[in-house]
Amino acid sequence: MKTITQREFRNNSAAVMDAVEAGETYHITRNGIEVAELRPLTRRRRPSAEQLVARHRMLPHVDYAQMRAEADELFEGEERVDDDPWERRRADRLPTGVLDTCTYIDLGTLNPEALPVAPELTAVTLAELQRAVAMAKDPAARAARMEKLGAAVADFDPLPFDGDAAARYGTLIALTIAANRDPRPRRMDLMIAAIASVRGLPLYTRNADDFKGLEGAVAVVSV
């Protein structure tokens, strides 16, 4: 931990920020009074797939199909197509990858060996979990969904839907249309796929059909 004046920080800001990124903490003072603190960002240690599955086996059951049906009520007249999942595309276990929402919901029923060693979750899934809590139609469903949401918040620093992901999202929409498929019922799925795609991460899903037509843009692993 180091203490520097505001003038010293202004004159050496690039070097100070490099040091902060490397793990140093700085207290910045003005006229002898501390006015700011710079500390390195710390990423929460990601739980392993084994830890996640063990935790979720103890949580109340959440019905993903019911969650999606409630969400689909918001988009009247738009149909969701659910076909048989693809064959699993990767035999070897990968070090990391993105779980889509249905995979996260079903964690307690999955074999951790079918998942990446250290899974990632996206902000889109957090949004879907928040929506599911808000739309719950009875106290029991709301309580179960709150526990799922709470576990996600505790276990993950979600990957954001940033500018790069937004640009890739447009590409995935175009690919979906080119495959003669309607992207509208798959809005959230395609946003998750875009986040995985721009980071070069595989996408783990229980509904691989939702991502047909995206070959070459994102690696999909069916679980």
Residue 28, domain extent: 2-38
Answer whether residue 116 is part of any domain. yes
| Structural domains of the chain, count | 2
- 205 φ/ψ angles, rounded to the nearest 5 degrees: -145, 155
- pTM here is 0.68
Q: What is the pLDDT along the chain (223 residues), one digit of tens a residue?
A: 889 887 787 778 778 777 877 778 888 888 888 767 777 755 556 788 888 888 788 887 888 777 767 766 655 554 444 443 333 444 468 899 999 999 999 999 999 999 999 999 999 999 999 999 998 889 898 998 899 999 999 899 999 999 999 999 999 999 999 989 999 889 999 999 999 999 999 999 999 988 999 988 999 999 9
Residues 168 and 135 in one domain: yes
Same domain assignment for residues 33 and 82 = no
Q: Tell me, what amino acid is at 73?
A: E
Residue in this structure with the two tokens 């709150």, named with its chain if needed: 146
- Would 80 be classed as within a structural domain? yes
Q: Does 144 share its domain with 85?
A: yes
8 and 59 together in one domain: no
The answer to whether residue 204 sits within a structural domain is yes
Domain CATH number, residue 6: 3.40.1620
Q: Is residue 109 part of a domain?
A: yes
Tell me, yes or no, whether 124 and 21 share the same domain.
no
Composition of the chain by helix, strand, coil, percent to 5: 50, 15, 40
Strands (E), the chain: 2-5, 26-30, 33-38, 96-99, 118-120, 203-205, 220-222
Domain identity same for 141 and 80:
yes
